Amino acid sequence: SRRHTNEIANSYDWDACLNDTYFVAAPVTCFKHAPIVDIWSNILVGMKVEVENTDCDNASETFPDSFWVATVTKIIGYKALLRYEGFGLNETKDFWVSLCSNQVHPVGWCATRGKPLIPPKTIEDKYSDWKDFLCKRLTGARTLPSNFASKVTDSMKSRFQCGLTLEVVDKNRISQVKVAVVHKIIGRRLNVKYYDMPPEDSGFWCHEDSPLLHPVGWAKKVGHHLVAPSQYVDRVRSGISEDNDASEELFTPVQIGSNDNTLTSGFRIGMKLEAIDPLNLSSICVATVMEVLNCGYIMIRIDTYDADATGGDWFCYHVSSPYIFPVGFCEQHSLALVPPKEFTLQTFNWKNYLSETGNVAVSASLFNTFVPAHGFEEGMKMEATDLMDPRLVCVATVAKMAGRLLRVHFDGWEEEYDQWLDCESSDIYPVGWCHSVGYKLEGPRVVPKHT
Amino acid sequence: PMENKPRKWEQKQVQIKTMEGEFSVTMWASGASD
């Protein structure tokens, strides 16, 4: 048996699907935020690696673990199908490994550690001169860079550290941000705990690039509602920082906001648009601009629901967000737009609605309409965060695409649980990501048969 | 874009150790100097 490191109880294992001819995974290069994506184009079928040899007699005292050279014959997500050198066309002992792990090493790694390469038992009598065989097979072949392991380690390091203070959208009231502290980090996903959370609460999970995270002082700067201890409010107002403050250098531009207030100059309160419902990510809805904040942010409200008089249903989007759209986006992409509360799909029509209510649509020129060549295709498998319970990362499939949006379907679940996510969302990961970083992967839902 | 990033392949001498002895081969390694 092959040794697995960081096994997690009840975590789903893709291996059973990987040999299915019809299984297609989104390539690692589709995920800009994924570990070692910057060197992934240099990892190729045909490459030689050193890997543990599990086809051997029980470990000797001299060499407790045995290694041999293998060739990469297929790559799916972070998984590679390997064949030990010497097996020729015999695929019976092929095996899957994670490339983003400590399971594979560049050729030469064993020698630097004084470990001899030992041929698998099945083929040990196939050649009389293994030295000559390896010399011929390896000369001129490609292998991983000698610093591969450190590249993997570095790419998994978070910019954040436990104990840092930051401002995070309140999971129980999305119109406000709360002061929170980083409690745990796995695979650049942060588990944060709001300052007023009871100790037994498991906190809130999100990727460190999530637009729900902001630096200390963000709410004051942009004019967003903040819930924080008075001591925090006072010191932020006075410009006093503390050692544990997560400062702007740790965040992405969308998490910080822009100093260019002209970004929002075309947005006015009451203007209409289409937007992903932040509380139901399978729906694109009629929405209203409720407030224009500083630094390129707006507060919107989804018109599908009864208005919350306290503004608790407002949500902050940056104007460059891929989750807000001009009027007509759904029609253009043949998607069902969720109409305002008093309408049905049949009775709602943007032109009539705007003229009858005297509202104005936000100009289409103010939205981010750039569609990158993302590489995703319908049917591709991936690992995706269930944003309604973001502690969970689940087996998922690209069900549909619209512009730069992906409709992500959670395998085994009804379509109502689907999520529209941006192609550059940090909540989607390549097949094998969870295993690589040591995070539990939720498998497809298995519905028990009725008796 | 990542797809357009030139691949840097460098020729390098790699040491191999077997039960019969050590030798070196010339291989191509990628991205070592990235």
Q: What is the pLDDT of residues A121-161, one digit of tens each?
A: 999 899 989 999 999 999 999 999 989 999 999 999 999 99
Q: Do B16 and A108 touch (CB under 8 A)?
A: yes
Set of chain A residues whose Cβ sits within 8 Å of the Cβ of B31: 39, 42, 145, 151
pLDDT above 90 as % of chain A: 86
Q: Do A131 and B28 touch (CB under 8 A)?
A: no
CA distance A155 to A186: 12
The mean pLDDT of A208-215, rounded to a whole number, is 98
The mean pLDDT of A95-114, rounded to a whole number, is 94
Set of chain A residues whose Cβ sits within 8 Å of the Cβ of B4: none
Q: Among all chains, which residue has been given the structure tokens 């000559």?
A: A132
The mean pLDDT of A223-233, rounded to a whole number, is 97
Q: Of A42, A116, A373, which is closest to B30 when you measure between CB atoms?
A: A42
Task: Give the pLDDT band (50/70/90) at residue A5.
Answer: low
Q: Among all chains, which residue has been given the structure tokens 């379509």?
A: A415
Per DSSP bridges, beta strands A226-227 and B21-30 are unpaired
Instruction: Tell which of B14, B26, B34 to mutate to test the A interface (max A CBs under 10 Å).
Output: B14
Q: Do B19 and A108 touch (CB under 8 A)?
A: no
Task: Give the pLDDT band (50/70/90) at residue A260.
Answer: confident
* A77-92 exposure pattern, b = at least 16 Cβ within 10 A, e = fewer: bbbbbbbbbbbeeeee
What is the model's pLDDT at position B34? 42
The mean pLDDT of B4-26, rounded to a whole number, is 85
What is the model's pLDDT at position A57? 75
For residue A148, the chain B residue with the least C-alpha distance is B32
Q: Do A146 and B32 touch (CB under 8 A)?
A: yes
Instruction: Tell which of B4, B17, B22 to mutate to test the A interface (max A CBs under 10 Å).
Output: B17
The mean pLDDT of A247-254, rounded to a whole number, is 96
Q: Among all chains, which residue has been given the structure tokens 């709360």?
A: A178
The mean pLDDT of A167-196, rounded to a whole number, is 97
What is the model's pLDDT at position A181? 98
Q: Do A143 and B2 touch (CB under 8 A)?
A: no
Q: Is the pLDDT of residue A170 over 60?
A: yes
β-strand partners of A186: A189
Per DSSP bridges, beta strands A48-52 and A104-106 are antiparallel
DSSP state of A306: P
Average pLDDT score over chain A: 94
For residue A29, the distance in angstroms to the closest alpha carbon of chain B comes to: 8
Task: Give the pLDDT band (50/70/90) at residue A62.
Answer: low
Q: Of B1, B23, B29, which is closest to A145 when you measure between CB atoms?
A: B29
**H-assigned helices in A228-310:** 230-237, 253-256
Instruction: Tell which of A28, A50, A107 to mutate to test the B interface (max B CBs under 10 Å).
Output: A107
For residue A30, the distance in angstroms to the closest alpha carbon of chain B comes to: 10
CA distance A109 to B10: 17
If we measure between CA atoms, which residue out of A327, A406, A422 comes closest to residue A366?
A327
Give the per-residue SS3 of A81-94: EEEECCCCCCCCCC
Q: Do A135 and B1 touch (CB under 8 A)?
A: no
Q: Is the pLDDT of residue B2 over 50?
A: no
CA separation (Å) from A423 to A76, A138, A335? 19, 39, 17
Q: Is the pLDDT of residue A302 over 50?
A: yes
The mean pLDDT of A328-351, rounded to a whole number, is 95
The mean pLDDT of A423-431, rounded to a whole number, is 98
Q: Is the pLDDT of residue A291 over 90?
A: yes
Instruction: Tell which of B24, B25, B33 to mutate to test the A interface (max A CBs under 10 Å).
Output: B25
pLDDT digits (tens, 9 = 90+) for A20-41: 999 999 999 999 999 999 999 8
For residue A44, the distance in angstroms to the closest alpha carbon of chain B comes to: 10
DSSP track, A240-275: ---TTB--GGGS-HHHH--S-GGGGTT--TT-EEEE
pLDDT digits (tens, 9 = 90+) for A322-337: 999 999 999 999 999 9
Provide the CB-side half-sphere exposure for A102 (13 A, CA): 10
Identify whether the C-beta of residue A187 lies closer than 8 Å to the C-beta of residue A439: yes
What is the model's pLDDT at position A447? 79
Provide the CB-side half-sphere exposure for A21 (13 A, CA): 0
What is the model's pLDDT at position A261? 80
Q: CB count, 10 Å around CB of A286?
A: 23
Q: Do A41 and B32 touch (CB under 8 A)?
A: no
Q: Of B3, B9, B20, which is closest to A131 when you measure between CB atoms?
A: B20
If we measure between CA atoms, which residue out of A425, A417, A409, A414 comes closest to residue A389?
A417
The mean pLDDT of A93-106, rounded to a whole number, is 93
Set of chain B residues whose Cβ sits within 8 Å of the Cβ of A143: 14, 27-29
User: CA A206, A212, A215, A221: dihedral to nearest 10 degrees?
Assistant: -170
CA distance between the termini of chain B: 16
| Better-predicted residue by pLDDT, A168 or A262 | A168
List all residues 6 or more positions away from A198 whose beta carbon is below 8 Å from its beta carbon.
none
Q: Of A42, A129, A141, which is closest to B27 when you measure between CB atoms?
A: A141
pLDDT above 70 as % of chain A: 97
CA distance B23 to A312: 70
Q: Is the pLDDT of residue B6 over 80?
A: no
pLDDT digits (tens, 9 = 90+) for A388-400: 999 999 999 999 9
Q: Of A37, A131, A143, which is closest to B14 when you measure between CB atoms?
A: A143
Task: Give the pLDDT band (50/70/90) at residue A59.
Answer: low
What is the model's pLDDT at position A17? 95
Least confident piece of the model among A48-62, A64-78, A263-277, A309-323:
A48-62
The mean pLDDT of A196-203, rounded to a whole number, is 93
Q: Do B28 and A41 touch (CB under 8 A)?
A: no
β-strand partners of A117: A67, B18
Q: Do B30 and A145 touch (CB under 8 A)?
A: yes
> Which stretches of A135-269 are assigned E, i.e. beta strand?
142-143, 165-170, 173-186, 189-194, 204-207, 213-214, 226-227
Longest dimension (CA), chain B: 46
